[in-house]
Amino acid sequence: MAGMPEDSPGEAGGTCRSRQRERQASMAAKGDISSGVTVAMEEVVRPENMKKALDRVCANKGAAGVDGMTVEELTAYLRAHWPGIREDLLKGTYQPTAVLRVEIPKPDGGKRPLGIPTVLDRLIQQALLQVLAPLFDPHFSDSSYGFRPGRSCHHAVKAARGHVEAGYRYVVDIDLEKFFDRVNHDVLMARVVRRVKDTRVLRLIRRYLTSGVMVGGVVEARREGTPQGGPLSPLLSNILLDDLDKELERRGHRFCRYADDCNTYVKSKAAGERVKKSITCFLQRRLRLKVNEGKSAVERPWRREFLGYSMTPERKPKLKVSRNAEKRVKEHLREILRKGRGRKLSVVIGEITLFLRGWIGYFRLSQVRRVFEELDGWIRRKLRCILWKQWKRPKTRAKKLIALGIDKARACESAGNGHGPWWNAGASHMNAAIPTRWLSSLGLLSLITEHRRLAVLT
């Protein structure tokens, strides 16, 4: 980027030195510890690495941290200050800023704490991640799917269904209580140091773990946990829980783990109880993590959910949207629809469709279409209900129904029937006046049609 210092994140290098560093990073990524090559801070601040990190942070956007600096202001800030920041990183004296604590709603109705680092710290964490991930990721378990390149929730869900189809028809569902808030720093750093030897890198990671949290304008010290919100946190969680993966593999278990969601599949209830007890003991003693006994269980897979999906109890189980996911999507849609009375229906439909595209994209693996058909009907009825409320008086309702093709006698009778909006939204006169094709012409997405289209592409 024009105007930035020579060694700034915006400047792409091409010297022999940088090529040598690339070769060293490649050897480190392959786990060639015997060569004596390991991650060094020089790799982190390498111009190519910082430029890539800057592009990623700018693309992700996100809110400002405690200093108020936005992503748009970051490049100009780096032009003026990057040489000094780089020098502090190389000397091992860089001090991260406290993260801003916010709370976001959880699916179960609770609140999840989220830590927002400053954009500068997000940049440095992203640069660290890009160097550390190739060093650790090749050694992670094949049954670990969270926050890894080329892997997703869909891969985890498909693998889970495969285990059940293979005859492992009980699941040990372990819930880690406030996992990201309870990570023990010493236990985590002991696992990081297995592959990272540069004390400057280790010191920087530790400082990110212990940097304070600003709550209500007051900075509080943090002695445990990896705050969700920073680019480095997902990798650190995988590094810690890789010990759990390796233990499950050593015992020969079939399992799927996505971040702190870990399901182990066994053939009997008794085996599941033994596994649950031993895993709980391992997590508490070796990793110092607390298991939420109230939410953990040994159960049939079709009575539990994994990443929003459940499955049918057939010999060859089918994936389906879980009951809780059904409830959550309706709650979200209600929030959108609740605002609809004072707005044009096309605006409401536009907001609904935007949300539904993402939702059906995630649940495109579902092989049970009932929920999509029911949601389609429920959404259409809700939209007709909005119109009925907007028309308000019987005279207006009769006039609108006539304009939409209902004969005068029927329109007048329907407009003054005395029933409530929800009843009328499901009645034949509103279905005839506001047919599905009319709502589709305003842009309403049909879940069942979109699911069929995505199923062909999947």
Query: Residue 212: which region, alpha, beta or left (left: phi > 0; alpha: psi -120 to 50)?
Result: beta
Tokens 């006994």 belong to 293
The Cα 198–Cα 38 span in angstroms is 7
Alpha-carbon torsion, ordered 326, 331, 336, 337, to 10 deg: 90
Q: Which of 46, 92, 361 is nearest to 201 (CA)?
A: 92
Residues in contact with 425: Cβ distance below 8 Å, sequence separation at least 6, in sequence order: 381, 382, 384, 385, 388
Give buried/exposed letters for 160-197 (b at 16+ CB in 10 A, else e).
bbebbeeebbbbbbbbbeebbebbebeebbebbeebbe
Contact 422, 385 (CB under 8 A): yes
Model-level pTM greater than 0.85?
Answer: no
Q: What is the pLDDT along the chain (458 residues), one digit of tens a residue?
A: 444 444 555 544 444 444 444 444 444 444 343 333 467 899 999 999 999 999 999 999 888 888 899 999 999 999 999 999 999 999 999 999 988 877 666 665 566 667 789 999 999 999 999 999 999 999 999 999 999 999 999 999 999 999 999 999 999 999 998 888 788 999 999 999 999 999 999 999 999 998 866 656 555 556 666 767 789 999 999 999 999 999 999 999 999 999 999 999 999 999 999 999 999 999 999 999 999 999 999 999 999 999 999 999 999 999 999 999 999 999 999 999 987 667 899 999 999 999 999 999 999 999 999 999 999 999 999 999 999 999 999 999 999 999 999 999 999 999 999 999 999 999 999 999 999 999 999 999 999 999 999 988 76
User: How many whole angstroms from its chain centre is CA 220?
Assistant: 26
The Cα 206–Cα 201 span in angstroms is 9
The Cα 160–Cα 171 span in angstroms is 9
The CB density around residue 351, as the number of other CB atoms within 10 Å, is: 15
DSSP-derived letter for residue 134 is H
User: How many whole angstroms from its chain centre is CA 396?
Assistant: 46
Give buried/exposed letters for 249-260 (b at 16+ CB in 10 A, else e).
eeeebbbbbbbb
Contact 257, 144 (CB under 8 A): yes
